[in-house]
Chains A and B, each alone.
Chain A
């Protein structure tokens, strides 16, 4: 039973399209995150939600919009996809945000924009 699950695992699409990635955690955590791992393998935080409230919003183009319908879900919608959006996107969750918490990661979504 996967703790943090992301769908889809692979996403290949054309420039200009709009796509969504879904994330669900069954750990009962109250904080969820989206990370982008680029070609240099650097894991960079994009967004974080705590109890459905946006608490981290890094310098990300506003084509990226996270949505958290409830504590267990954090989806990422990307409008007008660009070549530079090609990366692996990881969802993660943790219990509590500001303490000494461990993050649990999904398996990642590899996005390829053609």
Chain B
């Protein structure tokens, strides 16, 4: 039973446009959500996170939105750049636990 789902395995976007990556979760105990970026032959690197007490967190070109009622979060990248081309994983965690649950990733390709 996959508690964190990224239903789009891939996404292509033109340089300069907005990239929107989506993530759905099923466990209502999750209260901390993270996005990681992964380049080939490297480990995932932390990008941005959001706590369930917020509905938006912004860091430069990256914004994460959380809709708790829909159990949905999204990552917006604007403007998208070719260097953003990577696999993006969302992850979720419940307070009081050590376990992070990862989605299967979305491969973003930003076309120059």
Contact = CB atoms under 8 A, between A and B. Distances in A.
Interface stretch (A11-19, A69-77, A78-86, A102-110): A102-110
Contacts of B96: 98
The interface size bin for chain B is: 20 to 34
A107 B43 contact: yes
A114 interface: no
Given A102-B49, A105-B43, A105-B45, A97 B98 contact: yes
The interface size bin for chain A is: 20 to 34
Contact of B42 (A40, A100, A102, A107): A107
Interface in B28-58: 32, 34, 36, 41-46, 49, 51
Contacts of A45: 99-101
Interface stretch (B12-20, B60-68, B71-79, B87-95): B87-95
Interface string B83-112: 000010101010111111110110000000
Interface of A: 4, 31, 33, 35, 40-45, 48, 50, 55-56, 90, 92, 97-100, 102-108
